Amino acid sequence: MASWQGFKSTKEHGDICMQLHSASINEIQERREYLRRIVAITGFLARQDIPFRGHSEKESSANQGNFLECFKLLSQFDPFLQNYTAASNSTYLSPISQNEFIQSFAEEVTEEIRKEIKLSGMYAVMTDEARDGKTEQLAVCVRYVNSDGKVVERFLGLQELKVFDAKTITNTIEALLDANDLGNLTCVAQTYDGASVMSGASGGVQALFRANHPEAIYIHCYAHELNLVLCCTCRAVQEAADFFDCLECVYTFFNTSLVNHEKLIAVQKQLGLPGHELAQLSRTRWSCQLASVTAMLENYSAVLTCLEEIGTPVAVGLRMKLCKFSVVYMMVMFECLLSITDGLHKYLQRVSLDLAEAVMYKEAVCDTLKAKRTDEMAQSLYNRAKAICQANGSDGQSSSPRRKQKRMKESVVESTCGAVGTDLGSSDNLKRHLYFPCVDRMISELSQRFSSVGDSILKGVQACHPSSVTFLSQDLLNEVALHYNIALRAEEIYVAKHYLAKKNEEDCTNTACQQLYM
């Protein structure tokens, strides 16, 4: 009888091997459903740029980190997770498993980047140092045109640097490109900072990299170049450097002390001024300097009144500096000059930056600065500064030349003290010692620092753009073709010109016909 029951069960449910196989399939499907949810949580946190782990992932922890907390939240509403119990040795929730999932995501993304670059056939490389604690790393990014015709920038990888000479950095970049199977593709450009180890014409990274990639022209980051223009201007004109140091001291005075900050807000309300905050300066983003100067001009009367009411030695010293006519003049002067360069700052930080147009924009800024270098403009700035001083009850005479102190016998003086200064109270002296030197230095630095790439190549690249007035200029295209070893025939250019001209004519005719029938 027992044998008969066993036979009937085998007929209905299959033999033991079939039952084990069916159970194995069900278990595999359940584990895949479980893993699908783990992968979804990983993708969500990665896409939102949220850290995975918290301070502690112990069971007793009140907050086990974003990854585990998201898993708990999903378990509250997902019937599958409520009914499924993962094996103790395969929960896939440990830090090691989380890192493996992240690494898998990174490999998949990198593989897509490699496919897009290979489809494009060429790329540009951008690298910079990225410090993680006490570890120096080299961040490598690539820029290329994707299948949709859009210029994109993608992060390729990080490599630890233990030696910082040009050869080691170049080998590190080459190794990362070879690891991603990009070494045989055409690299058309390379972009680094202006450090000598990177930009050196003979032994720098850009020179060593061009030995293997001769088409890769070196381009210094133009936004950084513009920062260096303004930094060099301040270093060349000591009064300008002192002026920005003064603005930084005023910002620190009012923002490191809550009491002083509240007093400034109260004075602003008392004077009926809008509550504009003072802006902090930045050594690497000089577009912040315009915000700082503008904020000081808007809050000038409130700052002077507040410093007078506080009355501490530091406040009195800051007020004396701000009351100097030369300081007020430089506020007005730098607001004018930095407003001219501010548009270029913003343009150079755009994702869709065109190098040839950036050079044209730079030339336009230079032309504007040259047009501003006139006696009439200097007098206009002087009149505006004088009006500000008069409106705030300041005569601006605290900038008179310092008197030469008596010589100290048998003493060693390592710095200048009491030297006879220049009277910066007159319009002519301000023009000759502040305004013209700053304008001249900015024009000179703009002309020198933005000439790392040959103008002929830039104009040739611009001639490839349909919106350019030099579009399909044969002479300019020949320069690009020669540099990148492209076989360019004059007949092809003539055919393209006639084809585009006819196409534009037909488009205009169709548009006119559509308007007639509307």
Sheet holding 122-132, edge to edge: 151-160, 135-145, 122-132, 186-192, 217-220
pLDDT at 163: 86
Residue 205 near residue 191, CB atoms below 8 Å: no
pLDDT at 169: 93
pLDDT at 333: 92
Q: Which residues of the chain have pLDDT under 50?
A: 398-420, 512-513, 515-518
As a dihedral over the C-alpha atoms of residue 426, residue 429, residue 435, residue 436, rounded to 10 degrees, the angle is 150
Query: What is d(CA 225, CA 344) in angstroms, rounded to the nearest whole number?
Result: 11
Which residues pair with residue 126 across a beta bridge? 141, 191
Distances (CA, A) of 122 to 115, 145, 206, 244, 355: 12, 8, 18, 44, 17
pLDDT at 86: 85
Q: Give the burial string for 238-276 (b: 16+ CB within 10 Å, else e).
A: ebbeebbebbeebbbbbeeeeebbebbeebbeeeeeeee
What lies within 8 Å, CB to CB, of 321 at 6+ separation is 246, 327
Helical packing angle, 325-348 and 287-298, nearest 10°: 140
pLDDT at 225: 73
Residue ranges per structural domain of the chain:
14-93, 113-220, 226-395+427-439, 454-516
The three-state secondary structure class of 157 is: strand
Q: Read off the pLDDT of residues 40-89 as tens digits, 9 standing for 90 and up.
A: 999 999 999 889 987 788 888 888 889 999 999 999 999 999 998 888 88
What φ, ψ does residue 256 adopt, rounded to 5°?
Answer: -90, -15
The CB density around residue 373, as the number of other CB atoms within 10 Å, is: 16
Q: What is the pTM of this model?
A: 0.65
Query: What is d(CA 292, CA 278) in angstroms, rounded to the nearest whole number?
Result: 6
CATH top-level class for 113-220? Answer: alpha beta
pLDDT at 13: 58
